[in-house]
Structure 1
Amino acid sequence: METSAAGWWILCPLLFLQQVTLSWAACPCPDPALCEPITHSQDFEVYVFYTRGQSWKRYDWSKITTVALFAPYDPELMCFAHSKGARLVLKGDVPINDIIDPRNRTAWVREKVNLAKRQFMDGINLDIEQPVTEGSPQYYALTALVQETTETFHREIPGSQVTFDVAWSPACVDLRCYNYSGIADLCDFLFVMSYDEQSQIWTECVAGANAPYNQTLRGYDEFVDLGIDPKKLVMGVPWYGYDYTCLNLSKDHTCSIPNKPFRGAPCSDAAGRKVAYGAIMKQVNGSSSGRLWDEAQKSPFYNYKDRKGNVHQVWYDDPQSIALKVAYVKKRGLRGVGMWNGDLLDYSSDPVAQQQTAAMWKALIL
């Protein structure tokens, strides 16, 4: 059907009004303003990974600046996060071999930014933990992906945030030999996963802290030595621990563990199993040793026997060990702190659990 020039000028405002109406209708929030992206930045970042369930409703939102969505999209969460001034960002993961071709890389970035727009989200967290050899095609493709992702998101979603997850040290941990300084320059900041630090055990095969204090801090010295601004680094802390079955437990609490090789190392934390902090708190006081403290690693641990009589040792982080690391974050001038993950605490109505959960959130701020 043809429309005359005069008819077009009459029709145009109607089409515009209809388009605006559809746009408002697409917003799932009771207040359409909550679908606007978060554009402001906080002086101190508190970064939370959300993985499952409804526990996000009981997070301490007075502290949160960003939530990374590692679970199915929940529009109610988006609306609530925005009402608290917190960003909600996508998870970004892609096989590196798939994005060596620039066309595939551009298509992947376009897909992610369109998804973020449809879901009224505020950026993306690139969680790509694949082995890469320095100077390889994958090495350059990964750097190019970060650059294109950051440029596209910043251009199309003003104020959006693009972050990249890295291991606790840039020293090719788990064979991840990335262009760390280049990636840090290209994105908003790095989320440093200062946990799973026993993924490669090069010394004797014994149980140890998930995030030993001195080893953790050494990793940040190594990042800064590469020329990375401390304000480009957010420290990730674990809200979980590792339960190891001991082949032998000595009188000084040294727990020998089975050899579980990983990416060239003879031993690894694969000899243990991950345990949520909420579950640890239910077990520690009834354990055979009760809570113990290792001063060298500045980490709590305990021993217990299972029903078959096997001796176990559990290493974890709690408010005491986390507060020590957060004090370093502030002294070193890092961008902030975060955790993997926000759903590992006990958010039940039990008063003891409530105190334990509140203490873990409080430790992030000091």
Structure 2
Amino acid sequence: MGRLAEFSEEEGKLRFTGDLLLARLGDLPGRLDAVAAPVSQLDLSDVGRMDTIGAWVVYRFAKKQGAQITGLTTENQRLLDQVGSADQPVSTRPVYVSPFNRVLGEVGEAVIMSGRTLVGLLGFLGATVLAFINVLRHPRRFRFNATVQRFEVVGVSALGIIGLMSFLIGIVIAQQGAVQLRQFGAEVFTINLIGRITLRELGVLMTAIMVAGRSGSAFAAQLGTMKLTEEVDAMRTIGVSPMEALVLPRTIAAIVLMPLLGFYASLISIIGGGLLCWWQLEIPPVTYIARLREVVPITDLYVGLIKAPVFGAIIAVAGCFQGMQVEGDAEQVGTRTTAAVVQAIFLVIVLDAFFAIFFERIGWI
């Protein structure tokens, strides 16, 4: 057992004994603060061991009194010198940044982060394509059961919510279109509006947004949780490719089912719009269907079916990419899931604009 740290007072001098360790200091710091007489010398020749806390107590008292420290061993002198060298005044001055520079800096950081994310997303897309090629070369590595399960999650389970959303959208389009066209006595053209906008744009676009919020977020959360629990690392350890086992089934399911869901959503929207036309504009269903066949070109259907698998691939790749980026703590799962939904919806809308320009250029209008 070490000795308790003590000190004795002599005229202008304090003599320390014992071990100046945290566990042995006791009330020594308080007693030193209570010393009223001036002290010019601190004798530490009878001090055994000393740690950083003990050295700081002695150094602080010596600095306060302006006293000289004597009797230190080589090791204790080195420790006291280190404590003294670390006792440097720190002056902080708030740096003023103008609002314009602060906003400009935040915009710059956002642009840099967006560029890095885009590069990472493109690299992840390339890795997904390579995994697909490997599975084509080795069909036995294709995980049929996992893909079928993703079919159910992405497609069958989403029929209810997508159908309800599409039905209400069809009613809203018909009602708003009829109100505006009534001013010109052209309510009959409400059928043109419903048929073309649902088959060409809103049916697939709203389905993609719904799938991004529902399935894209699920992909990111599932893979992110697997990253945190080190399941992905365990798969790599036993020789299983996470791209083939986790990413590819989800991507295939989204690509295959998006055209089906988009077509289903378009039909439900047309039904919803037809019911409102029947009720409010008194257009019989037979007339409604005949008018649709006259005014809606088959190219509108082709446009929707071409865009749908591209949107599905973007949603799946964005969700899986963000999920595979999770690391550190559980908070990252929520952050990456939100980022997956935002990125998927943003990319879907951007690609939809490019598709609109492309199809207009080739005459599919």
TM-score, normalization by structure 2: 0.23
TM score, norm. by length of structure 1? 0.23
Point out the structure with the larger helix share.
2
Q: Which is strand-richer, 1 or 2?
A: 1
Larger radius of gyration between Structure 1 and Structure 2: 2
